[in-house]
Structure 1
Amino acid sequence: MPWHALPDLLLVLSLGAALGFFGGLFGIGGGIIAVPLFIIGFGMDQALAQGTALVLMVPNLLIGWWRYNQHNKLPWLAIAAIGVSATFTTWLTAKLAVRLDQEVLHWIFNLFVLVVGFRMLLLRNNPSAGHAQADAPNTAAMPIVGVLGGTSMGLLGMGGGLVATPMLTTVFKHTQTTAQALSLALVTPSSVMALTTYANAHRVNWELGLPLAFGGLFTVSAGVAVAHYLPEKALRRSFAVVMIIAAIWLILQSLHTH
């Protein structure tokens, strides 16, 4: 590698480390931050940004799920139910995403992130947080969560956790960290399927994605560890603010472009 390229490589590795930390902190794989960054900072179209973000997300999600599973022992039947249903749905919707008009896909992404962010910000504390049922997932209901989360993963290349986590905390009354562990069981296999589909459609920038992924490997565990020490309300609000800022940033950029 030429010496003049070393600063660029170090910058990309550092960026990957930052994305990995925040992905572990919020249990989202870093895609919510990476996709806007790729669109605005690197000039990618929507599908290419989503596909490249998946290169970063896959290893981060694998490590994140492993670490969350150490803290939250969940039934394997529930994990299989949510993971299999999400992966199949991801495969179907990812095939649609790589064929959609890029402007349409871009606005779907922007509005999705904005709506979920405001919903999380305004959500009240889960009154059942910390109760025993938080560790006993309703296995029969997990495929419903899996289908909804998998649709987001395939169509947007991310967002499975953004759909699943609020549903698991409000409808199924899990704590935030348990919900994030279940969400990771959903998005981890789904992200592998989504990456495969985007890559087959040549919608992945491997030269950028691989160094980012490598940088993130060293910081995901730290993000997960911090998440278990933060107050639940603070964690949820931080999660929401990051999404809202990213969505507004993209919407303003889109309006300026037009």
Structure 2
Amino acid sequence: MVITNIRNLYKILSESRTAAERRATLAVLGDSPAADEIAAVLGAQRSVRGAEVVICVLGPGESTPSGVEPVLTVSIGSGPGDVVLAGTTEQDIREDLIPRLLDEVDEDYLLPLGRAYESLRRPVCEKIVRNNARQNAVIGALPIPGADMPVMTANQARMVLSIAAVYGEELSLERARELVGVVAAGFGLRALSRQLVKFIPFGGWAAAAAIAYSGTLAMGRASILYFERGKEMPGEEEMERIRAQAEEEARRYGGGR
């Protein structure tokens, strides 16, 4: 993946920078100890004042407070919430609450939430990666030879810069060119695409869609590790595991289309 058109890269950079600068304050409302525990795991404030994203924890018989429009309501054990958690352990919150929160929140808030809250950083990046992988799968299936590459490349660049922004990287033009180039060069996606053709039992558009999905997924996952580890490239053995997992997910994705 190489972005040779500086104007295109600048446009992508501008979009990523605007998203990163958007404000997204998270609040958890509710009077129960469960609300305190959820707020502590998320790192959220307990007041609705100044909050753009609100979670409301409801006890038995409770309803959303007047004048509050939560993105999500939560109950523990049973109750009227959009999400009913078995408990308030960190595992419950990370596995059952956070994914639903990221599904419900406006997409414009994803990047700033990940940037502002460490608890959401990895889940937000995974969401960004999956969104881009699905988009590129659709683009890869277009029956116009060569028409897909510029758009897929732009999507991959946008994905890498979004992940970089979540991990607090400065998004200058020079830095963006460096990051996109380093990440693309390090992950061997052309080799992945050639290899994947041998394993996916489809032809035509299905193979192209699966390659686009898998390649984007692998690049995104490796990018997360790269920024998570302070810009240290995953080793070849780890990259092979990432590729293998991406290939398997591409098979399942292709089979479910």
Shorter-chain TM-score above 0.5: no
Query: Relative contact order, CA 8 A, sep 6+: which one is greater?
Result: 1
Greater fraction strand? 2
TM-score (normalizing by structure 1): 0.28
Greater fraction helix? 1
